[in-house]
């Protein structure tokens, strides 16, 4: 069996878990995720973890925030008047906001009758995650 090297295209099945053990997401019922090993297409902790693995190998890895979705940035959370925001929008909903001509995905952190708290941080920012990964295939890189 061949070993995954940095720059190889990898097909991977995964299940991600929060620190409390709850499943966040799994690829088990769909096609494997495909990305370049060591590249920026997926979170750094997973991208680097596959390097040195073999096709068919499974591994459980811990991924700290700096190798996952980063740390929370309080500057990306803002209180805004509810004016102009749909009435049915509530905590946990995702919106697209336009700021200085750029589109940004934001999440509603809290919502009251008069105002909402919008958060531009990824919902998993600041979280340590655990992944169960299995390399399903590999195509050698062109480097």
Residue 62: per-residue pLDDT = 96
The CB-side HSE value for 54 (13 A sphere, CA atoms) comes to: 4
Distance CA 19, CA 7 (A): 30
| Average pLDDT over the chain, rounded to an integer | 89
CB atoms under 10 Å from CB of 106, counted, come to: 21
| Structural domains for the chain | 9-70+124-139 (3.10.50.40), 74-119 (2.40.10.330)
CB atoms under 10 Å from CB of 120, counted, come to: 16
Residue 39: per-residue pLDDT = 95
Residue 86: per-residue pLDDT = 64
Q: What does the angle CA 18 – CA 117 – CA 124 come to, to the nearest 5 degrees?
A: 15
The tokens for 134 are 């299995």
**pLDDT exceeds 90 at position 35:** yes
What mean pLDDT do residues 43-62 have? 97
CB 121 within 8 A of CB 68: no
pTM: 0.80
**pLDDT exceeds 80 at position 26:** yes
DSSP-derived 3-state class of residue 100: coil
Residue 98: per-residue pLDDT = 74
DSSP-derived 3-state class of residue 139: strand
Helix runs in the chain, H state only: 44-49
Interval 74-118: pLDDT, tens: 988 888 777 766 667 788 888 887 767 778 888 888 888 788 888
What mean pLDDT do residues 61-78 have? 93
């Amino acid at each position: 069996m061949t070993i995954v090297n940095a720059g190889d295209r990898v097909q991977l099945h995964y299940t991600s878990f929060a620190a409390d053990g709850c499943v966040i997401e799994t690829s088990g019922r769909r096609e494997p995720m495909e990305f370049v090993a060591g590249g920026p297409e997926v979170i750094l902790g997973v991208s680097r973890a596959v390097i040195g693995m073999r096709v068919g190998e499974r591994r459980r890895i811990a991924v700290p925030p700096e190798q996952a979705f980063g740390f929370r940035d309080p500057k990306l959370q803002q209180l805004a008047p509810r004016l102009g925001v749909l009435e049915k929008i509530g905590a946990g909903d995702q919106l697209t906001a336009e700021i200085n001509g750029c589109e940004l995905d934001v999440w509603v952190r809290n919502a009251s009758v008069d105002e909402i708290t919008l958060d531009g941080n990824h919902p998993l920012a600041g979280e340590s995650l655990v992944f169960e990964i299995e390399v399903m295939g590999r195509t050698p890189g062109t480097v």
